[in-house]
Amino acid sequence: MRGSAALVLATLVFVAPTDGAVRRPAAASPRIAGRQAEKAWLNDAVFSPDGRLVATASNDRSAGIWDVASGRRLHALWGHEDLVETAVFSGDGRLLATASWDGTARIWDVRTGRSLHTLRGHTDDVLSAVFNPQGTLVATASRDGTARIWNVRTGHSLHTLRNEGWVTDVRFSPDGRRVVTPSAEKARIWDVSSGRLLRVLRGHSYDVRTAVFSPDGTKVLTASDDGTARIWKVATGRTLHIFYLPGHKSKQRPLEVMSAVFSLDGTQVLAANEGGLVRIWNAQTGRRLRTLVHDIDGQAAVFSPDGTLVATTSLSGTPRIWDTASGRSLHTLRGHTNVVDDASFSPNGKLLVTASWDGTARIWDVARGRVLHVL
């Protein structure tokens, strides 16, 4: 994935970037009634870098910017012609990028809500958009089989990165010099300045859904439909560890690994499969540290910024918060009435925002497990 298989209700994917924001990779939302649904649902919700704002992405073709303290919507961002899959802030919080199934991405001014650039060039749905750490570039991933790198100031396309099949995600390395793209059963590492392919990561036997760099940029972590996550060495493309999440949906097909993320200090790996199995490993040794089991319809998991908590999401609409050290479930977050499609911790780890197909986002007090605002 950041979406790579057929899109069905049970196919949800989430990812945590190494900068601390937790963002679900794209292409999780199903097409309904000719790409329009009877009721708007939310695909994405993410905090700004300072934790004062939340951005949401909706299937009603809009995005929103919300005040965290009051729960009030500050801007409704209209302009896309199909559902908005993801929304992401720049590192300084001044800009927002959105990716849409209309084949474009947009860059917005957060303060005014004004659209600054429409990034045109993809020929199919845009599934992901992300800023580089410096805030000067945006990378996008699309079902047209390409990723693109864009100049933020001008909105011009600088490089087109051609893959095999849908490009379901794209992520910058922490220094901004490389990007990684998952596509089909491989992931690829590219040089940002030249657009040159540097490395192909081969070994998965089914589609790779997500790919993220480690916080130090020396490794890549992938999650695949083959039931495994893998750590790769960037310099050589060699597999360092293979993490197994057991379970099969049929004799031939394992349960897909829906998400895999590093902790922000890079010492742990967290992965979840579509059966609700969540495991934590030591990223250096590959040793399994903890197993968490959400409901059978659990979908994905993310670390809090300090790594002491884990949030898991669910098709039934009941995300949970867990203690990392003990594996104990601390809170079941009740209130959503449909699939919870995304979860994101605030930068200080005190709040969690969830996005749901019930058409709402909710901001939760992490310590008490209580809802503060319904957006």
Least confident interval from 29-33, 90-94, 142-146: 29-33
Whether the predicted pLDDT of 220 surpasses 90: yes
pLDDT given for residue 251 in this prediction: 66
Structural contact between residues 41 and 338, judged by C-beta atoms closer than 8 angstroms: yes
Least confident interval from 33-37, 106-110, 266-270: 33-37
Whether the predicted pLDDT of 243 surpasses 50: yes
Structural contact between residues 183 and 4, judged by C-beta atoms closer than 8 angstroms: yes
Give the sign of the dihedral formed by CA 256, CA 226, CA 35, CA 72: positive
pLDDT given for residue 316 in this prediction: 85
Q: Could you tell me which residue, 103 or 1, shows the higher pLDDT?
A: 103
Task: Tell me the pLDDT tens digit for each residue of 248-307.
Answer: 766 678 889 999 999 999 999 999 998 889 999 999 999 999 999 876 676 779 999 999
Whether the predicted pLDDT of 371 surpasses 90: yes
Q: Look up residue 190 and give its two tokens.
A: 């590219």
Q: How far is residue 318's CA from residue 312's CA, in Å, rounded to a whole number?
A: 9
pLDDT given for residue 100 in this prediction: 98
Q: Look up residue 359 and give its two tokens.
A: 């058409």
Reference 190, options 163, 209, 156, 150; nearest CA is 163
Q: What is the mean pLDDT of the segment spanning 88-97? A: 98
Domain 42-374 architecture: 7 Propeller (2.130)
Whether the predicted pLDDT of 35 surpasses 90: no
Buried b (16+ CB within 10 A) or exposed e, 322-357: bebeeeeeebebebbebbbbbbbbbbebebbbbbbb
Whether the predicted pLDDT of 16 surpasses 60: no
Q: What is the mean pLDDT of the segment spanning 75-90? A: 98
Angle value at C-alpha 287, between 293 and 349, nearest 5 degrees: 55
Pinpoint the alpha helices (H) of the chain. Answer: none
Q: How far is residue 61's CA from residue 115's CA, in Å, rounded to a whole number?
A: 14
Task: Tell me the pLDDT tens digit for each residue of 321-367.
Answer: 999 999 999 999 999 999 998 899 999 999 999 999 999 999 999 99
Structural contact between residues 312 and 319, judged by C-beta atoms closer than 8 angstroms: yes
